[in-house]
Structure 1
Amino acid sequence: MATASLSITQLSTTSKPCLTRRSIYFISPSYFRSPQLLTSNQHSFAFSKQIKRPLNIISAANLPFDLSPPPIDHDLLDTAISAGAIVSEDGIAKTFNNDDEALDTVDKGTVVVDLSHFGRIRVSGDDRAYFLHNQSTANFDSLLEGQGCDTVFVTPTARTIDIAHAWIMKTAITLVVSPEISRSITEMLKKYIFFADKVEVEDITTRTKFFVLVGPNSNKVISNLNMSDLVGQPYGSHKHYSVNRMPVTVAVGNILSEDGFSLMMAPAAADSVWKALLSQGAIPMGSNAWEKLRILKGKPVPGKELTNEYNVLEAGLWNSISLDKGCYKGQETISRLITYDGIKQRLWGIHLSSPVEPGSPITVEGKKVGKLTSYTATRKNSGHFGLGYIKRSGASEGDTVTVGDNIVGKLTKVPYIAHQRQPKQKAKS
């Protein structure tokens, strides 16, 4: 049997990045319309760790790069099903029947997760940076092409809508957002475009695929695929590559952590990229295990930890917030909360004695101090874990609480919240 070949090329740069307050240059729309994309689907999607593919990578930061649909859409789900995956009606691989193995591998190897159901939004036009600067919490004026950040969309009263992962490209800014809120964020952004604004907002979710790599061996996987120039770069840094003449963007970070990597690509490139990652020892993880990992890591999501009941500081999202960039939606409320120490509750991880339904009250000595927002059984179903908001005066790390009627819980920090860096308070005069 012949060994399939995967050619990964990092496209070379010829011009310098340029950014002003109202202008960040991105990549132009012709690349995905190239006749080079008219490639037939000649590969089967075997999930085999034994297939080795030679890679030859070249850097592409300034070549034309857009996210128009390719002429041929390879169906990754057909491959998943043939490999034994259980796929939901809405096309999400729920499990590869290896959930415990995948969760164990997160600590000692590498997993790859298809998160193509997450939203991707493309914001273009000369005013895109200025626009997002005013609509979310991060300082987009400080970012250059090839960099990235997390930013939070909030209401005028700083209630959290979603955490977005932003990549600053040549002619656009790409946002990765939660799947359940993607459409409403797109509509919200379009609503705030004024007549004179040079901004276009486009949902590109169905025209792209999106994978993440999680685990301590992710650097090795990326290096073996000739993308070692990304290893050690700051969170959000990204580069553009060509896989079999089709564009792929690879970024540092994986939504749950500043470690690992994210990969966005044309659907026609997805089979080659997926097989290349598996060939380097990554194992596939389904969405069921991903949700369990999400809770264990403590990442808040819309509809659970991110609702109108909680503000952005109670969710602990300090890394996504600029405190000195000037006016933006929710800025006044955030400033008051910080100035007057108005953060009344915070998000905790909770080790639980038994299963319990999200929404259950959390009490201490019979007094309600909070609410459980997420629950999961731990690996191999040997324990129980949840996330919940608790009043600052109600309990602290290591304390015992009661969840629901009689479930015992013990409070613990979770990695996603623990790595958030709260700024030092200015000394009062």
Structure 2
Amino acid sequence: MMDLSGLYISRGALLAPDGIPLHFGDTLREYQAVDRGAILLDRRHEGRILITGTDVLGWLDKIATNKLVDIQPMMGKPTLFTNANARILDRVMVYGLDAERVLMTTEPNRGDAVLNYLRSNIFYQDKITLTDWRPMYHQFAVHGQSADAFITNLSDKNSHRQFTKDDYPVYQFSLSDSPVYALRQKPYIGSSWTLITPTESAFMVWKTLLDMGKDYQLIPSGGLVFNALRIRAGRVGAGRELTPEYIPLELGLWDEVSFNKGCYTGQEIIARMESRNKLARVFMRIALSQFAEAGTPLFHLGKQIGEITSSVIAPDGTIHAMAVVKTSIAGSNVVVNIGSSDGASATLTDYLGVQPRLE
């Protein structure tokens, strides 16, 4: 019997070593699909953790940047874990299933790190149980302009519902007689949903999603297009921006930090930065005159002022890039040099993420 990898290959996919499709033969078609329809992705390398306990949200609230105690059942929130110096360890989505169960999703290849961090914060008085769902459940994602309508239609919810940017509902429904959790997340292009289903059902669920998604112009896509869309959308990524090099506010993640909750690791430094309005660096989109890799330094008037954090040549040939630069020189239409003080020119264009002090 054909497995999921075989199914992907039969549809023209080139697979990465971990079995996740890189593309399905036409990256330009996949890239453009999000603007008129949606794409279906395999995201098995993102972590998924079930957390149970009598005060599970209260426990999480003490170790995360966002206020989590007020998450309602079948709703979610993004949040971050930071170290004592307020540097980013991980970013996760937290979804309340009921009063004693939370489903958490992680960034790509960060499942083990998040599990270890959670375990290190469980003490004898905490009645918390962690279950790694990766062996038991597969994970897909749907991104694009028609994603909201498609998922709400699958769930028999009101397909004309208008979501706000901070709506992260959880839907449960069945496809091919298999249970599916649909979790709305921060959008990349259009809207974005994570889909989690039992591993043994993943083959049929993927086929059913594509069949039912035809009216929504849903097509399969791979990791190359996802990365291009991430950078085009100005979204932080694991191993690029989401590292201990940065503090959340520097990356425009103000909306994933609460300033009116109890203590958590790193809170004092973040609160001080907010109250004094003293950010050393900010996160910006940058227009490159020629492609430059992530990590390339940026210069202004002969001095290094930051570096490119993510960059890509999209399937349509356009270059997209993001950078973290010193606040003192940041601003729209500021011209900088790439790689050296006399390198090719680039232009800072706009601030990324949520940066209320700069908007």
User: What TM-score does the superposition give when structure 2 sets the normalisation length?
Assistant: 0.90
Structure with higher Rg: it is 1
Map Cα deviations across residues 48-89 of structure 1 (whole Å, 9 max, x no partner).
Answer: xxxxxxxxxxxxxxxxxxxxxxxxxxx322210111111111
Q: For structure 2, which runs of at least 5 residues remain unmatched after alignment? A: none
Could you tell me which amino acid in structure 1 is paired with residue 345 of structure 2? V
Residue 266 of structure 1 deviates from its aligned partner by: 1.0
Q: Following TM superposition, by how much is the alpha carbon of 1:308 offset from its aligned partner in structure 2, in angstroms?
A: 2.0
Instruction: Note the 1:57-76 alignment, pairs <5 A.
Output: 75-76=3-4
Deviation at 1:129, TM superposition (A): 0.9
Of 372, 382, 387, the match for 2:308: 372
The aligned counterpart of 1:262 is 194
Relative to 1, partners in 2 of residues 1:106 and 1:207: Cα closer, same or farther, differing over 3 Å?
same
The residue identity in structure 1 corresponding to 2:356 is Q
Q: Do the aligned partners of 1:377 and 1:385 also contact (CA within 8 Å) in 2?
A: yes
8 A contact 1:319–1:422 mirrored in 2: no
Match of 2:356 in 1: 422
- 1:203 matched to 2:127: no
| 1:148 maps onto 2:76 in alignment | yes
Partner SS state of residue 138, structure 1: coil
Name the % identity.
28
CA distance in 2, matches of 1:282, 1:127: 40
Q: 2:332 aligns with which of 362, 386, 397?
A: 397
Aligned mates of 2:29, 2:349 — CA distance in 1: 24
Structure 1 distance, partners of 2:79, 2:253, is 9
Structure 1 position 402, deviation (Å):
1.0
For residues 111-146 of structure 1, the C-alpha deviation after alignment (integer angstroms, 9 at most, x for no partner) is 111111111122111131111101111211111111
Q: Could you tell me how far apart the structure 2 residues matched to 1:348 and 1:185 are?
A: 27
What are the equivalent positions in structure 2 for 1:9-88 lying under 5 Å apart?
A: 75-88=3-16
AA matched with 2:273: L
CA 341–207 in structure 1, closer or farther in 2 if over 3 Å, else same: same
Say whether residues 1:110 and 2:42 are aligned partners. Answer: no
Structure 1 runs of 4+ aligned residues shifted over 4 Å read: none
**What does the per-residue CA deviation read over 1:285-311, in whole Å, with 9 as the maximum and x for residues that have no partner?**
100111111111111122211222210
Give yes or no for the alignment of 1:387 onto 2:313. no
Q: In the aligned structure 1, how far is the partner of 2:174 from the partner of 2:39?
A: 23
Classify 1:229/1:206 alpha carbon distance in 2 versus 1 (closer, same or farther; 3 Å): farther
How far the C-alpha of 1:367 sits from its partner, in A, is 1.2
Alignment-derived partner of residue 256 in structure 2: 320
**1:340 pairs with one of 276, 280, 287:** 276
* Residue identity matched to 2:103: T
Equivalent residue, structure 1, for 2:162: 232
* Structure 1 unaligned regions, length at least 5: 1-40, 45-74
Residues of 1 paired with 2:118 and 2:321: CA distance?
32
In the alignment, which residue of structure 1 is the partner of 2:103? 174
Once the two structures are TM-superposed, the CA of residue 410 in structure 1 deviates from its matched residue by 1.5
Aligned pair partner of 1:361 in 297, 300, 305: 297
Deviations 1:213-239 (A, max 9, x none): 211122332354353337435521112
Q: 1:125 aligns with which of 53, 68, 87?
A: 53
Q: Which residue does 1:12 correspond to in 2?
A: none
Secondary structure of 1:101's aligned partner: helix
Q: Verify the 8 A CA contact 2:225 2:315 in the aligned structure 1.
A: no
Q: Distance in 1 between matches of 2:174 and 2:128?
A: 28
- The reply to whether residue 411 of structure 1 matches residue 348 of structure 2 is yes
Q: What TM-score do the two structures reach when normalised by structure 1?
A: 0.76
Preserved contact between residue 360 and residue 404 of structure 1 (Cα < 8 Å): yes
Residues in 1 aligned to 2:67 and 2:55: alpha-carbon distance in whole angstroms: 14
